[in-house]
Structure 1
Amino acid sequence: MFNKVLIAEDIDTISLAVQLTLIQLGITNMQHVKYCDDAILKIKKAIQDNEPFDLLITDLSFEPDSRSVKLTSGQETIAEIHKIQPSLKTIVYSVEDKKSTIKTLYDDYKINAYVHKSRNSIEQLKTAITQVYSSNSAFISTEIKYLIADKEANKIDYADVQILKQLALGNTQDQIADFFKTQNINPSSKSAIEKKVNKLKDSFKANNTAHLVAITKDLGII
């Protein structure tokens, strides 16, 4: 099992729950920080002392307070740690459920697990820690697996995303056509954009454009 764990979490009750979970798994060498900047300092110090951490468990959101900090989110922290100790096993423990964020963490920063905070998340955290230690397979909470596996979200192209963003701003198809022309985005004709909007509504089973925008926002596409 892991020997040395760093917990980055600014809510005391959640941090204590994570610490208890580690103890139940036989892990007693752990440190806790409430600020992202402190996590970086701990990582660097541990490497300098030739006693590096072998697991990071971090939240993504950290509430700002009177202290001035350089890093303000878990995602920024993971990106920075990835430069310092790229081999460090990383588990994200967060309420965030935005597809683009989760995919970036897996694809770009090679996190090992994503546990969604929920009613049964402690048991899933135990499973994630055990799986990350014993195998190379990535772990993701059952509640948000659909975000990564969603096929329709992977079929859309750049123009589709831009159309969705313009619809979210309340622009009409005529306005979107004008915007596409000024940005040299193809296809830019109103008829082509109308076809794309209809195709998107069919793909995501949306009743109307407002419903389409809501669905794609929930999936983290826009």
Structure 2
Amino acid sequence: METRTRILVVDDHQLVIQGILCSLKEVGDFDVVTTNNCDDAFQLIKMHQNNNPFHLLFTDLSFDNSTEETNLDGGEELIKAIKNNDFDIKIAVITGHTETNRVYNVISNLKPNAYLLKSKCDAVEIGFAVKKMLANDYYYTHEIHQKIMRRNIIQIQMDDVAIQILKELPNHPKIGNLEGIIKKDDGTLIKLRSIETKLSNLRTDLNANNNTDLVLKAKELGVID
């Protein structure tokens, strides 16, 4: 008899869980278990690891029901605990978080097999993610994929001088004040004309209207804090 795919769904909102359950029911005949907190999710995975293990996990990142007794207070902590214990389970993040810096950090550091957005996720997309994960592949919803691609491109274009300029820019009312502050790797001070040229290129790269917009977009992309 073929083994049914076992899926664990973790979210602290029952309506979200019901939506995922309905989508999964449309996709296939799965054995689905749900819980509303990360501690219980981890214990379920651990308990069944050697006997009827879960194959897939769908988890949110943020949980509002954490207390002082909670050990794993969010999806990121749950994913870390799973990976630290080498549990054999494919992980999908299904969340409302679209902030580029957080998305980038989750994907870069935790490497989930899928990243889906609650607001744009339907049965077709969940089904596609399940298929990809079971094939040991990765799936990021289109918006998330675009954010990661853009962040990677920007990151490649960013050098130390660009980072210095972006960090210093909010601290000075005039661009001219940056002369004497921005340095090359060898410690040589960069002339104002070169700083202005760099700023112009950065505005083009980040599609910024002005320097204030440039700093905001750099923060949104997680290039600077």
TM-score (norm 2): 0.79
The 5 Å alignment of 1:69-88 reads: 69-88=70-89
Aligned residue number for residue 111 of structure 2: 110
Asked whether the 8 Å contact 1:100–1:220 carries over to 2, the reply is yes
1:141 CA displacement = 0.8
2-side partners of 1:37 and 1:162: how far apart?
42
Asked whether the 8 Å contact 2:24–2:123 carries over to 1, the reply is no
1:14–1:97 distance in 2 versus 1, CA, 3 Å: same
Aligned residue number for residue 223 of structure 2: 221
1:109–1:6 distance in 2 versus 1, CA, 3 Å: same
Amino acid at match of 1:33: T
1:76–1:160 distance in 2 versus 1, CA, 3 Å: farther
Aligned residue number for residue 26 of structure 1: 28
The 5 Å alignment of 1:18-167 reads: 18-47=20-49, 49-66=50-67, 68-133=69-134, 135-150=135-150, 151-161=153-163, 163-167=165-169
Question: Considering only CA atoms, is the larger Rg found in Structure 1 or Structure 2?
Answer: 2
1:91 CA displacement = 0.9
1:99–1:159 distance in 2 versus 1, CA, 3 Å: farther
1:215 CA displacement = 2.0
1:194–1:53 distance in 2 versus 1, CA, 3 Å: same
1:25 CA displacement = 2.6
1-side partners of 2:34 and 2:94: how far apart?
14
2-side partners of 1:213 and 1:202: how far apart?
13
Aligned residue number for residue 197 of structure 1: 199
1:13 alignment partner, SS class: helix
1:198–1:45 distance in 2 versus 1, CA, 3 Å: same
Over aligned residue pairs, what C-alpha RMSD do you find? 3.0
TM-score (norm 1): 0.80
1:41–1:124 distance in 2 versus 1, CA, 3 Å: same
Amino acid at match of 1:21: S
Asked whether the 8 Å contact 2:92–2:116 carries over to 1, the reply is yes
User: Where does structure 2 lack aligned partners over 5 or more consecutive residues?
Assistant: none
Identity of aligned residues (%): 28
Amino acid at match of 1:127: F
Aligned residue number for residue 7 of structure 2: 5
- Count how many residue pairs are aligned between Structure 1 and Structure 2: 215
1:176–1:26 distance in 2 versus 1, CA, 3 Å: farther
1:15 CA displacement = 0.6
1:20 CA displacement = 1.9
